[in-house]
């Protein structure tokens, strides 16, 4: 909702500035998260360890703020003078992101994910409310900046309210944290840079307008891939860690996580690519129609690429953070190379460079996945073959429906006309409904044809039954002589 409203209130240039700002904010969040993951993996937790983690968080926050302040000259080289104005705000966010209760990750460790869901809900509501309200009045990128600051404040308040603690500064357990956290921070930084390098290179070489267009399209892609999967990832890592501690292996859990991921993300991403032009026009407005090509090219690739989240979690549990660091470093070099070559051929070349980088990430991820599952190179993909076949059937069904509409130049396809929005909404809804029915129907048919084995389908049905039992409970039998 935030993206939809702000896309109509702000300009592509504003979104170009916002892209750089949010990249830095997200990097600060990732740095702090990479320190806290040690609390989920560690076998025993002491107060000294909690205080040490908090101290490391705080030091990392202040060091980040100092580095941001000293990077003024480097930021000026990006030819984005607006970012220089944001440096004080970024320094404040760097410090605020470190002020989280170190006891909060222990809730995830104990599978109490309702508190993590509460944090996500409060953060999203706070950000959405203030981003939309301030964008409506200010009509510039400062609305997003203030909304992010208020969101950080809400997260701090929530973490200490549900996981209260009066931390003190100490580095007594630094040896337990240093080795794992150092590689973990390196892994997170390089992976983050790799993910955002297309945005950075496009903004630096092609300008803020192209950066803003890419931001909108890429935001939709990430919204339906990475952000949809983010809550699942917060469950998977503790689940793999618990399986490793109790069963001695996390192999089965890893393979189940892959099946769930591909069964959900792949059809959603491919479906989004199929209806990308409709979605952009109906949701964000005609001025962003150029962003549809970003979704069409990158959404299916990013869906499969999310397998790396499972590999990352398994690597943390296995302690193979050094190998993960080398993998991400290699991928960063590949991504920078492809993007620099691609931007020489304009915006389309940049998209080709980004897609080539995504293919390289998938290839390297499949190589690493062999260390944590059973089977060969394509095992993580072949294990979800029914999801891919169902997605193919869904694609054919939606394309047939699109072809029935006729050529885009016929009457009723004047995209710049507001009068066409009702027609576009009907066509968009028809395509989505057709895709959902085709995917689910094909998936269930294939599942029954192979004998209903344990897998993604059985887990999805079990979840539906649990939801049904929770919300549609049978009335309890009343004892004789009681009640009316």
Q: Could you read off the pLDDT of 280-336 as tens digits, one per residue?
A: 877 777 778 888 889 888 888 887 776 666 566 555 555 556 777 777 788 889 999
For position 370, what pLDDT does the model report? 65
What is the percent of the chain where pLDDT is above 90? 15
Q: Which among 384, 366, 374 is positioned nearest to 249, based on CA atoms?
A: 374
State the total domains in the chain: 1
- 480 pLDDT band, cuts 50/70/90, is very low
d(C-alpha 389, C-alpha 396), whole Å: 11
Give residue 289's pLDDT.
82
Give the residue, 337 or 77, on which the prediction is more confident.
Answer: 337
Query: Residue 52: is its pLDDT beyond 90?
Result: no
Higher pLDDT, residue 296 or 44: 296
58 pLDDT above the threshold of 80: yes
CB 199 within 8 A of CB 211: yes
Is residue 461 one of the residues assigned to a domain? no
Q: Which domain holds residue 102?
A: 1-172
Q: What is the pLDDT of residue 146?
A: 94
When pLDDT is cut at 50, 70 and 90, the band that residue 143 belongs to is: very high
**Per-residue model confidence (pLDDT) at position 62:** 93
First to last CA, the chain: 48
pLDDT top residue among 384 and 345:
345
Q: Which of 349, 358, 305, 304 lies closest to 331, judged by CA?
A: 358
Q: 150, 126 in Cβ contact below 8 A?
A: yes
pLDDT at 245 over 60: no
Question: Within a domain: residue 268?
Answer: no
In a domain, 273, yes or no: no
What per-residue confidence (pLDDT) applies to 412? 38
Query: Per the domain annotation, does 134 fall within a domain?
Result: yes
Reported pTM: 0.65
24: in domain: yes
Between 130-144, 199-213, 340-354, the lowest mean confidence (pLDDT) is in 199-213
Query: Residue range 57-77: average pLDDT?
Result: 86
Where residue 8 falls among pLDDT bands split at 50, 70, 90?
A: confident
Q: Is residue 231 part of a domain?
A: no
Given this model, what pLDDT does residue 414 score?
A: 37
CB atoms within 10 A of CB 176: 17
In the predicted structure, residue 367 carries a pLDDT above the cut 80: no
Residue 154 lies in a domain: yes
Confidence band, pLDDT 50/70/90 cuts, at residue 468 = low
Is 245 within a domain? no
């Amino acid at each position: 909702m935030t993206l939809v409203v702000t896309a109509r209130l702000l300009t592509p240039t504003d979104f170009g500035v916002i892209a750089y700002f949010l990249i830095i904010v997200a990097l600060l969040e990732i740095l702090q998260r990479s320190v806290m993951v040690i609390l989920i993996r560690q076998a025993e937790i002491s107060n000294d360890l909690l205080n040490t983690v908090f101290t490391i968080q705080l030091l990392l926050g202040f060091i980040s703020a100092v580095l941001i302040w000293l990077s003024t000259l480097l930021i000026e080289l990006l030819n984005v003078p607006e970012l220089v104005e944001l440096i004080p705000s970024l320094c404040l966010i760097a410090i605020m992101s470190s002020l989280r209760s170190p006891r909060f990750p222990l809730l995830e460790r104990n599978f109490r994910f309702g508190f993590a869901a509460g944090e996500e809900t409060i953060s999203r509501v706070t950000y959405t409310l203030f981003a939309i309200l301030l964008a409506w009045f200010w009509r510039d990128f400062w609305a997003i900046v203030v909304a992010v600051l208020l969101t950080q404040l809400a997260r701090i308040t929530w973490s200490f309210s549900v996981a209260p603690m009066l931390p003190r500064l100490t580095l007594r357990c630094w040896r337990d944290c240093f080795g794992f956290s150092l590689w973990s921070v390196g892994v997170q930084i390089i992976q983050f840079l790799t993910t955002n390098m297309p945005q950075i290179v496009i903004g630096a070489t092609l300008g803020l307008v192209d950066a803003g267009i890419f931001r909108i399209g890429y935001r939709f892609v990430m919204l339906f891939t990475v952000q949809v999967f983010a809550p699942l990832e917060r469950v998977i890592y503790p689940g793999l860690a618990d399986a490793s501690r109790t069963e001695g292996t996390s192999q089965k859990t890893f393979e189940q996580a892959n099946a769930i991921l591909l069964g959900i993300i792949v059809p959603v991403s491919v479906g989004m690519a199929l209806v990308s032009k409709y979605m952009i026009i109906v949701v964000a407005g005609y001025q962003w129609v150029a962003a549809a090509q970003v979704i069409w090219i990158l959404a299916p690739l990013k869906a499969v690429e999310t397998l790396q989240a499972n590999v990352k979690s398994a690597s943390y549990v296995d302690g193979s953070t050094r190998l993960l660091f080398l993998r991400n470093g290699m991928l960063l070099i590949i991504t920078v190379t492809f993007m620099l070559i691609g931007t020489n051929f304009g915006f389309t070349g940049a998209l080709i460079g980004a897609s080539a980088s995504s293919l390289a990430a998938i290839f390297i991820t499949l190589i690493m996945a062999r260390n944590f599952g059973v089977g060969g190179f394509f095992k993580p993909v072949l294990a979800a073959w029914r999801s891919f076949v169902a997605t193919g059937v869904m694609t054919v069904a939606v394309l047939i429906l699109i072809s029935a509409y006729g050529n885009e130049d016929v009457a009723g396809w004047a995209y710049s006309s507001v009068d066409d929005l009702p027609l576009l909404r009907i066509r968009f809804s028809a395509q989505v409904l057709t895709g959902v029915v085709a995917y689910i129907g094909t998936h269930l048919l294939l599942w029954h044809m192979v004998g209903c084995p344990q897998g993604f389908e059985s887990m999805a049905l079990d979840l539906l039954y649990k939801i049904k039992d929770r919300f549609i409970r049978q009335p309890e039998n009343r004892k004789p002589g009681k009640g009316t």
